Amino acid sequence: MSNQQERDFETAVKTMMVHVGENPQREGLLDTPSRVRKAYEFIYSGYKENPKEILAKALFTSSNDEMVLIKDIEFYSTCEHHLLPIIGRVHVAYIPDGKVVGLSKIPRVVNVFARRMQIQEQLTEQIADAIMEAIEPKGVAVVVVARHMCMEMRGVEKINSTTTSSALRGLFKKDQKTRSEFFSLINSPSGTRY
């Protein structure tokens, strides 16, 4: 972001504060426009990252052909309609076809898409498609369970309601046994914690 873009962003924040009835010159708010700009740069850092590059850097040849599941990947995102938080967990599984990916790359891909303005349904699809394209597995399954502050803080004001979305590719979509195993695993108690 150039210096001019930073100033423009901070001016926009001041305008919003005035619009809602605040005084941007009040002591506690003097540095708020700069803080908001820096926070937004982090919150929306997903626009600057390419998920396929992240995955491509950590692909390894493997004879494994059994399901790899990463459960409970915590994330936050922003509702593209109201710019309010979406907070939740993602479960991702894939069945390797000659290649596996470094485990830490899956949560990184979740973050790339989550750190953009989103709707949950699109977030779910984007994660599944990126993994399917980069790893070329036999199948990918993604389930996202999240709370939407646009439903809790405004509108219907329904506290603690959750939304679940899924994206199934390859064997997870075609094979009932594989799909059932995935849903059984993500719905089972966590068991032993390490």
| Predicted local confidence at residue 139, as pLDDT | 98
* CATH code reported for the domain at 51-187: 3.30.1130.10
Give the per-residue pLDDT at 194: 47
Q: What residues are annotated to the active site? A: 79-82, 120, 148, 150
Residue type, 129: D
Same fold, 3-43 and 51-187: no
Domain positions in the chain? 3-43, 51-187
Give pLDDT, residue 188: 86
Mean pLDDT score of the chain: 94
The predicted structure's pLDDT at residue 190: 65
Superfamily for domain range 3-43: GTP cyclohydrolase I, N-terminal domain (1.10.286.10)
Q: How many CB atoms lie within 10 A of CB 35?
A: 12
Which residues, in sequence order, are bridge partners of residue 143?
91, 166
Considering the entire predicted model, what is its pTM?
Answer: 0.92
Mean predicted confidence (pLDDT) in 97-120: 97
Residue 192 has pLDDT above 70, yes or no: no
Lowest model confidence (mean pLDDT) among 3-12, 108-117, 149-158, 161-170: 149-158
Query: What whole-number percentage of the chain has pLDDT above 70?
Result: 97
pLDDT at 111 over 60: yes
Residue 19 predicted with pLDDT over 50: yes
pLDDT 10s digits, 50-104: 999 999 999 999 999 999 999 999 999 999 999 999 999 999 999 999 999 999 9
Model confidence at 46, pLDDT cuts 50, 70, 90, reads: very high
pLDDT of residue 148: 92
- Per-residue tokens: 144: 């996202």
Percent of the chain scoring above 90 in pLDDT: 90
What's the mean pLDDT in 152-170?
Answer: 90
